[in-house]
Amino acid sequence: MIEVNKIKIGGNNPLVLIAGPCVVENEEIAFSTAQGIKEITEELGMPFIYKSSYKKANRTSVASFAGLGDKEALDILAAVKEKYSLPILTDVHTEEECSFAASVADILQIPAFLCRQTELLLSAGKTGKAVNIKKGQFLAPEDMKHAAEKVKSTGNNRILFTERGTTFGYNNLVVDMRSLVIMRNLGYPVVMDATHSVQMPGAGGITGGAPEYIPYLAKAATAVGIDALFLEVHPDPAKALSDKASQLPLKNLKKLLVEVMKIDGFIKNA
C-alpha cells in the first residue's frame, strides 16, 4: 500500500480513479475535465487522482501534437492541482525531466516503452515522489520486479505497476488478466489502464483504437482485483489532440464508475 496526498492505494482500500485527458491541450479542457471528474467522484465517494501528460514524447508521427511546451503545460497542471485540490500524475521521459515534473506532480509515470530505462527509473525514484511504472507491451509481468528494484534502490518504495496490454504486432494489443495477479503478487499496488489497452498502435500512421471495449476491460480487471483504475477521459474525444480513438467520453464516466465500484466493493468485502 502507498499513500498519495492522503489517498491510500493498495491493500484492501477502495478502488482509486486515475483519470484525465491524454495530454495537456489547454487550460479550458484541463479545468473542465478536472471539474467534471471531481464532481462525479465526490458524488460517488471515490478517491481521484488527475492524470494528464505535460508532453508526449512517443507519438506515431512527427506531425502529431506533442504538447504546448513544458513550462506552459506544467503551469496548467499546477493550476488544476491548486484550484481543485487534486493530486497530479504525469509522464516523464528523461532523467532531466524528473525533477522538473516533480515540482508539480505527486506521481511520476514511466511510459511503457521506457520501463527498462535504468537512469530514468533511478532519477524518478530519487525525487521521492510515487512512481507509476507502466508495464512494457513487450514485457512479461513477472519481469516488472526488476524495474521496481531500480526505483527501490534509491530508497523509494512508493511504486505502482500499470497494465496496458501486450503487443504481438499487427496493430493490436491483448490484455492477459493473469498479469494483474502476477504483478500484485510482487508486492506493489496494481493499476489497470483500460484506455491504452484498447489502442491499435500505428494503424494507418496514427494510433487507432476500439473504445467500445473500455468498460469491459475496466470491469473485468476490477473483478480480478486491482487497486486503481486508469482512464483517459476527454469531454469530446473526437476532437482530442492525442489518443482520440481510445479516450472515454466524460459523459460516459459516471455509469462506468458506478459499475466498477459495485464490483470492487463485492470483491474486497467478500
Helix (H) / strand (E) element for 71: namely helix 70-84
Confidence at residue 138, expressed as pLDDT on a 0 to 100 scale: 95
Confidence at residue 67, expressed as pLDDT on a 0 to 100 scale: 74
Q: What is the pLDDT of residues 38-90, one digit of tens each?
A: 999 999 999 999 999 999 776 555 446 667 889 999 999 999 999 999 999 99
Positions of the chain with pLDDT lower than 50, given as ranges: 62-63
pTM: 0.95
**CB within 8 Å of 246: residues ≥ 6 apart:** 195, 196, 198, 199, 207, 208, 209, 210, 211, 214, 232
CB count in 10 Å sphere of residue 266: 11
Task: Return the domain boundaries, the chain.
Answer: 2-252
Confidence at residue 205, expressed as pLDDT on a 0 to 100 scale: 60
**CB within 8 Å of 69: residues ≥ 6 apart:** none
Confidence at residue 171, expressed as pLDDT on a 0 to 100 scale: 83
Superfamily of domain 2-252: Aldolase class I (3.20.20.70)
